[in-house]
Amino acid sequence: MELNYNSNSSNSSEDELNEYLLMDFIEENREVQAVEDAIRYFVNSTAERDRSHDLRQRKKRTYFLRDRESANERLVADYFCNQPLYDERQFQRRFRMRKHVFICIVDTLSVDDRFFQQHPDACKQQGATALQKCTTTIRMVAYRCAADQIDEYLKLGATTSKECLAHFVDGVIAQFSATYLRKSTLDDLQHLLREGEDRGFHGMIGSIDRMHWEWKNCPVGWKGMY
């Protein structure tokens, strides 16, 4: 009986050991399978993402026949020909500056910045003129309109309009900062004083708010503001 007991005990211990080894082997296989599944998922997702990226890269860009030449002719007929449709007063109101100042800026930028010079594009079509590009910038700054809103009248897309704005700002700073973006000299102060005296403001230098002047008939909605 004792021998049988020991034999049964040995068999039981061996079965338990085999069962433990089998469970450990199964668990290891599960971990290996999980790692393989993760690697396979990563490889497949990366390949799918690369295919999607390639498809986006190969997508053709839409080209619009904007007819910039007709837009430039219309702009010149409206403001810059010998007998324009809109006079000097309307030009100054819409461009926020006088015509000779605007033309001076256009001519200066056209000489020093190749971006404002007219060149044919990739489709052998003539690009926008300096007048169109500078007018685009002035309209965006003066009216705070969106970049693609200029497209309807001047036939310039949003990307080109943003480039016009960047080149215009850099060009104005580079070409006119030494003359206008500087501290006032003694001659400048004397000129401002003379201008103020001619308009009835003695001793005024650069004041534009007029808040120290009493209004006789101030609008009711502005009561207490001035």
In terms of Cα–Cα distance, which of 183, 182, 145, 181 is closest to 161?
145
Q: What per-residue confidence (pLDDT) applies to 216?
A: 66
Tell whether the model's pLDDT for residue 5 goes beyond 50: no
3-state secondary structure the chain: CHHHHHHHHHHHHHHHHHHHHHHHHHHHHHHHHHHHHHHHHHHHHHHHHHHHHHHHHHCCCCCCCCCHHHHHHHHHHHHHCCCCCCCHHHHHHHHCCCHHHHHHHHHHHHHHCHHHCCCECCCCCECCCHHHHHHHHHHHHHHCCCHHHHHHHHCCCHHHHHHHHHHHHHHHHHHHHHHHCCCCCHHHHHHHHHHHHHCCCCCCCCCCCCCCCCCCCCCHHHCCCC
Q: What per-residue confidence (pLDDT) applies to 209?
A: 55
What are the domain boundaries of the chain?
A: 68-180
Tell whether the model's pLDDT for residue 4 goes beyond 80: no
Which residues have C-beta within 8 Å of that of residue 175, sequence separation ≥ 6? Answer: 108, 109, 112
Tell whether the model's pLDDT for residue 143 goes beyond 70: yes
Q: What per-residue confidence (pLDDT) applies to 3?
A: 44
Q: What are phi and psi of 120, to 5 degrees?
A: -70, 150
Tell whether the model's pLDDT for residue 208 goes beyond 60: no
Task: Pick the range with the lowest mean pLDDT from 68-77, 105-114, 217-226.
Answer: 217-226
